[in-house]
Structure 1
Amino acid sequence: MSETGPFDILFDPGSRNEYLRRNKSVICAISASYVSTFAGYPLDSIKSRLQTTRNKVTIPRLALQVYRDEGVIGFYRGLWIPLMTISFVRAASFTIYTRTKEFCADHAWFSHENILDVAAAGGLGGALSGSLISVGSTPFELVKVRRQLEYSIAESKGERLVKPPNTMQAVRDIFRVGGMKGLYTGFRLHCLRDTLGTALYFFEYDGLRHIMGRSQTGEQGPTPSWMPIHPSLVPFMCGSLAGVSSWALIYPLDVVKTKVQQRALAGTPPRSVFETLHRLIKGPDPNSPKPILLGLARIYRGLGVSALRSVTTHGLLWTLFDVTASYIDKLPVA
Structure 2
Amino acid sequence: MDFVAGAIGGVCGVAVGYPLDTVKVKIQTEPKYRGIGHCVWDTYRRERLRGFYRGLSLPVCTVSLISSVSFGTYRHCLAHICRFRYGSPDAKPAKTDITLSGFASGVVRVFLTSPTEVAKVRLQTQTQQRRPSASGPSAAPPMCPAPPAGSVPGPKYRGPLHCLATVAREEGLRGLYKGSSALLFRDGHSFATYFLSYTILCEQLTPAGHSQPDVLGVLLAGGCAGVLAWAVATPMDVIKSRLQADGQGQRRYRGLLHCVVTSVREEGPRVLFKGLTLNCCRAFPVNMVVFVTYEAVLRLIRGLST
Same fold at TM > 0.5: yes
Q: Which residue of 1 aligns with 2:287?
A: 314
Q: CA deviation at 1:272?
A: 3.5
Could you tell me how far apart the structure 2 residues matched to 1:168 and 1:242 are? 32
Q: Which residue of 2 aligns with 1:132?
A: 108
- Residue 48 of structure 1, aligned match among 11, 19, 25: 25
SS of residue matched to 2:298:
helix
Unaligned runs of 5+ in 1: 1-23, 153-158, 222-230, 284-289
- Residue 98 of structure 2, aligned match among 122, 129, 138: 122
Q: Which residue of 1 aligns with 2:60?
A: 83
Q: Which residue of 2 aligns with 1:102?
A: 79
- Kept in 2, the 8 Å contact 1:118–1:206? The answer is no
- Residue 300 of structure 2, aligned match among 327, 331, 334: 327
- Kept in 1, the 8 Å contact 2:33–2:39? The answer is no
Q: CA deviation at 1:161?
A: 5.2
Cα offsets for 1:31-76 (capped at 9, x unmatched): 1211111110001110000101213422122112111211211111
Could you tell me how far apart the structure 2 residues matched to 1:272 and 1:243 are? 28
SS of residue matched to 1:180:
helix
Could you tell me how far apart the structure 1 residues matched to 2:253 and 2:272 are? 19
Q: CA deviation at 1:270?
A: 2.7
- Output the aligned Cα RMSD: 2.7
- Kept in 2, the 8 Å contact 1:37–1:83? The answer is yes
Could you tell me how far apart the structure 1 residues matched to 2:33 and 2:56 are? 26
Q: CA deviation at 1:108?
A: 2.9
- Kept in 1, the 8 Å contact 2:206–2:217? The answer is no
Could you tell me how far apart the structure 2 residues matched to 1:237 and 1:114 are? 25
Q: Give the paired residue count.
A: 281
Could you tell me how far apart the structure 2 residues matched to 1:44 and 1:297 are? 19
Could you tell me how far apart the structure 1 residues matched to 2:86 and 2:180 are? 31
Could you tell me how far apart the structure 2 residues matched to 1:219 and 1:136 are? 34
SS of residue matched to 2:127:
helix
Q: CA deviation at 1:114?
A: 12
Could you tell me how far apart the structure 1 residues matched to 2:190 and 2:68 are? 18
Could you tell me how far apart the structure 1 residues matched to 2:72 and 2:207 are? 20
Please report the TM-score for the alignment, with normalisation by the length of structure 2.
0.83
- Kept in 2, the 8 Å contact 1:67–1:74? The answer is yes
Report the identity percentage.
24
Unaligned runs of 5+ in 2: 129-150
- Kept in 2, the 8 Å contact 1:126–1:198? The answer is yes
Could you tell me how far apart the structure 2 residues matched to 1:109 and 1:211 are? 24
Q: Spell out the pairing of 1:1-334 with structure 2 (5 A cutoff).
A: 24-109=1-86, 117-151=93-127, 162-163=154-155, 165-213=158-206, 219-220=211-212, 231-283=214-266, 295-331=268-304, 333=306
CA separation of 1:275 and 1:70: change in aligned 2, threshold 3 A: same
Q: Which residue of 2 aligns with 1:7?
A: none
Could you tell me how far apart the structure 2 residues matched to 1:122 and 1:59 are? 35
2:16 maps to amino acid: A
Cα offsets for 1:123-162 (capped at 9, x unmatched): 211111111221122111111111111129xxxxxx9653
Could you tell me how far apart the structure 2 residues matched to 1:184 and 1:300 are? 23
Could you tell me how far apart the structure 2 residues matched to 1:42 and 1:273 are? 27
Could you tell me how far apart the structure 2 residues matched to 1:251 and 1:315 are? 19
Could you tell me how far apart the structure 1 residues matched to 2:197 and 2:305 are? 34
Q: Which residue of 2 aligns with 1:224?
A: none
CA separation of 1:110 and 1:128: change in aligned 2, threshold 3 A: farther
SS of residue matched to 2:85:
coil
